[in-house]
Structure 1
């Protein structure tokens, strides 16, 4: 019988030992191999990863400095989004992710207004990051709403439009919203009264008026969105508005306006002289 040495067969044959075959230590276990080969010979994955991280960390610091010194005007839309994603995706180059989001949803408003499941279809956006982006969107809407709450709405019309656009422009289904006002035209309630399909929302004039009476509102502003992006009113929109006006007027409730929100703009029934 051939005498065996004290070393395992695989080491006698020049094969890798255990330390080469097993994953890297804790914290680096996601690396797929202990060696990565390039033209200059073997380079550890750990070193390559450090070089990569050094590259995008330097870029991150430069971008932060530009924002610190010049504000948002110093950055393109994708760079602002990238700056936000730094916090949400700490161990990845976020420039490609930011550009992919804008390619998919076209604008910053489109990104923040997109439903979470659609955000997650973009490479690099997981459930947690999608939720964080929706949180930013919610904070933005809450900030805009605070600009009109407790104020005379008719004197803050641009703020009303900004809030409604933020809340509804990128919704995938039609929403019918009502702003309820008191006798001083101060906002006392903002409620979504109906959710519909991509091109229709059922509206019941009696329910609109009933809710106004419950809130002691003396005036209302009707708002709904067109997911198609085109805010042009339909014949059904016009007829429904006139029905609500005729139902509310005998009860002392004024319909100040009906606003239709699209992705790229809005129309006012009063502005079009439809009411």
Structure 2
């Protein structure tokens, strides 16, 4: 896949290509401003039921690629497409970091063997505002 033409096409490609992995894996899809894929890379490898996703690993690669934006693809070997508490924490952390770094966080897609769940498409997306960032900044300044 060279260019993202639709979430449906990307989700189907990801499910077919990576959905049957026996352990949880986090993949980074880095794109340019024309939504052409610069790279698909594995940024975290976990166990059968969890994977640690660290923003530093994501953004280190994005900056080195001079990426405009990114999508995270994460498989659930259990077949469940529902985001876990750890998934929501990762989504929120990545949304905050992407606002600060000004690298567009386009989607967080959970995949299994044959299906996918796009959190952006389902409108399950954190709203990051200037107030959110300022609140984070002022809270840290008090520490």
Contact preservation (8 Å) 1:175, 1:201: yes
Q: Which residue of 1 aligns with 2:97?
A: 247
SS of residue in 2 equivalent to 1:274: coil
Q: What are structure 1's unaligned runs of at least 5 residues?
A: 1-147
CA RMSD of aligned residues (A): 1.2
Runs of at least 4 residues off by over 3 Å: none
> Equivalent of 2:108, from 258, 261, 269?
258
In the alignment, is residue 179 of structure 1 matched against residue 29 of structure 2? Answer: yes
In the alignment, is residue 193 of structure 1 matched against residue 43 of structure 2? Answer: yes
Which has a greater percent of strand? 2
Any residues of structure 2 matched to 1:138-157 within 5 Å, and which? 148-149=1-2, 151=3, 153=4, 155-157=5-7
> Equivalent of 1:215, from 41, 44, 65?
65
Q: Which has the higher contact order (CA 8 A, sep 6+)?
A: 2
Between 202-211 and 216-225, report the one with greater CA deviation: 202-211
Residue 159 of structure 1: how far off its partner (Å): 2.5
SS of residue in 2 equivalent to 1:230: coil
Structure number with bigger Rg: 1
What is the distance in 2 between the residues matched to 1:205 and 1:251?
11
SS of residue in 2 equivalent to 1:242: helix
What is the distance in 1 between the residues matched to 2:37 and 2:105?
14
- Residues 227-262 of structure 1: CA distance to partner in whole angstroms, max 9, x if unpaired? 001111112101111101111222210111000002
What is the distance in 2 between the residues matched to 1:183 and 1:271?
19
SS of residue in 1 equivalent to 2:91: helix
What is the distance in 1 between the residues matched to 2:27 and 2:59?
13
Q: What are structure 2's unaligned runs of at least 5 residues?
A: 126-143
Q: Which residue of 2 aligns with 1:162?
A: 12
> Equivalent of 1:229, from 40, 60, 79?
79
Contact preservation (8 Å) 1:172, 1:227: yes
The TM-score normalised by the length of structure 2 is: 0.82
Q: Which residue of 2 aligns with 1:40?
A: none
Residue 263 of structure 1: how far off its partner (Å): 2.5
Which has a greater percent of helix? 1
What is the distance in 2 between the residues matched to 1:271 and 1:157?
8
Q: How many residues align?
A: 125
